[in-house]
Amino acid sequence: MPEIIKQILSVVPLAVLLLSLGAASTSLGLLQANINNGIYSRCHFFITYTQAMNSSLLNYNLPTCKLSIASATIATICLALLTAIELISVSFQINVKRLIANIIQAGFFVGSILFLFITMIVVSAGWGKTCATYRNITSSGGTPRSLFNIDCTGPQYRSSVGPFAPNGADFITAAVFAGVGAVLAIGAFCYLIVKLMRRQKDDNEAILKY
C-alpha cells in the first residue's frame, strides 16, 4: 500500500472521533441549557396528564433528566479520552500493542456508544411523551392550570412573555446529535478492530518469516 494512503488512513479514526466528540458535546450542551437554566427549564420529560395539569410540579421526572445529562457527560468524557489517545498515536506514530491498553480503549468505545444511545432514547422518548400528553390535553380544551402549553418544536411562551426553556427544537437536535455521535463512534470502533486484526496478521507473518 502506498505510504500516502497509509498516512491518510491513519488520520481517519481521529477525524471520526473528533466529529463524534463534537456531536456528543453539542448534545450535552443543549440538554444542560434546557434543563439547568432557571425556573422555567426544569425537567419536562415523560410528563403525564396529572403533572401537566398541576403547575406546582416543577421538577417533572427530574431523575430522568439527570440520567440524560449524566449519560451525555460520560459519553463525552470517554470520547475526549479516545480522541486524546488517537491524537497522541497519530502525532508520535505510536502503535499501542499491549492487550490491556487495547481493552481500555475498547471499554471507552463501548461506554461512549452505550451512553450516547441512552441519551438519544431518553430524550426522544421523554420529549415525545410530553408532547403527546399536551397534544391530547389541548385537543380536549387546553391546559388552564398548566405551567406551559408546550411548543414541541420551539421555545416556550407564557402570557406572551418569553422565550423560555425548554426549547423543543433543542431537545430534538440533542437526540439527533447523540444518535449521530453513537454511529460515528461505532464506525471508529470498527476501524480500530480492523486495524488491530491487520496488525496481528502482520506480526504473525513477520514471525513466520523470521
CA atoms within 13 A on the CB side of 39: 7
**Residue carrying C-alpha cell 466529529:** 19
- Between the alpha carbon of residue 18 and those of residues 74, 91, 128, 130, the distances in Å are 16, 15, 29, 33
Residue whose C-alpha is closest to residue 68's, from 111, 109, 107, 32: 32
Mean pLDDT of 6-27: 90
pLDDT over 90 percentage in the chain:
43
Q: Give the chain's domain count.
A: 1
Is 78 part of any domain? yes
Say if 68 falls within a structural domain. Answer: yes
Note the pTM of the prediction, 2 decimals. Answer: 0.86
What are the residues whose beta carbons fall under 8 Å from the beta carbon of 63, sequence distance 6 or more?
none
- Is 155 part of a structural domain of the chain? yes
- Whether 178 is in a domain gets the answer yes
Range ranked top by mean pLDDT from 48-52, 138-142, 170-174: 170-174
Show Cβ contacts of residue 16 under 8 Å, excluding neighbours closer than 6 positions: 184, 187, 188, 191
pLDDT of residue 165: 80
Between these two residues, 63 and 183, which has the higher pLDDT value? 183
162's enclosing H/E stretch is strand 161-164
The whole-number pLDDT of residue 91 equals: 79
How far out from the chain centre does Cα 190 lie? 19
Residue 139 lies in a domain: yes
Instruction: Answer yes or no: is pLDDT of 58 > 80.
Output: no
pLDDT band at 206 (very low <50, low <70, confident <90, very high): low
Is residue 70 in some structural domain? yes
Is 146's pLDDT higher than 60?
A: no
Is 59 within the bounds of a domain? yes
Q: Which three cell numbers stand for residue 73?
A: 457527560
The model's pLDDT over 153-171, given as tens digits with 9 standing for 90+, comes to 988 887 777 788 889 999 9
Predicted confidence at residue 194, as pLDDT, reads 87
pLDDT tens sequence across 77-124: 999 999 998 888 887 766 655 777 788 899 999 999 999 999 999 999
> What residues make up the domain containing 151?
12-94+111-200
Would you say residue 106 lies in a domain? no
pLDDT over 80 at 33, yes or no: yes
